[in-house]
Homo-oligomer: A and B are copies of this chain.
């Protein structure tokens, strides 16, 4: 067990607002000198998709999931008040207006602060997401790796 406190966040949600909350807490905890891990699973993996299309071989259902799921942090919907895309635009407008950080910048900051960004390999398999489709700088692991960190975690959250 390391001397530093640990914050471990499971990012299950693929919503812009929830991912923002996850990365704001994570960046705050890193500034607080915690060892921080964001473990992205299920729809949370969409946060780590590249925004350009990547050509990879896939089965039919996996292709459909790939087409239906948002491609990257900037394209995520809101958990509330989506309003056919107006909600995310409004949130991004107020973020800019109040000099807050949009999600892609929060992810960049997380990398700079050496937060561990982990993609859940089991759900990558299920949803047919491949490493080539995800952003650089990720680790790849399963639930055992999450638990090894979380069981010593000071702050464990499921978002």
Contact = CB atoms under 8 A, between A and B. Distances in A.
B126 A98 contact: yes
Contacts of A132: none
B150 A125 contact: no
A41 to B, nearest CB: 6
Contact of A43 (B25, B80, B143): B80
A28 to B, nearest CB: 4
A146 B154 CA distance: 13
Contact of A97 (B61, B69, B80, B81): B61
Given A21-B42, A100-B125, A147 B94 contact: no
A59 B157 CA distance: 34
Nearest to A157: B158
Contact of A100 (B14, B25, B91, B122): B122
Contact of A157 (B10, B24, B25, B97): B10
Given A122-B100, A143-B28, A147-B28, A155 B156 contact: yes
A22 B34 CA distance: 25
A76 to B, nearest CB: 11
A109 interface: no
5 contacts: A12-B17, A32-B147, A100-B125, A100-B126, A152-B154
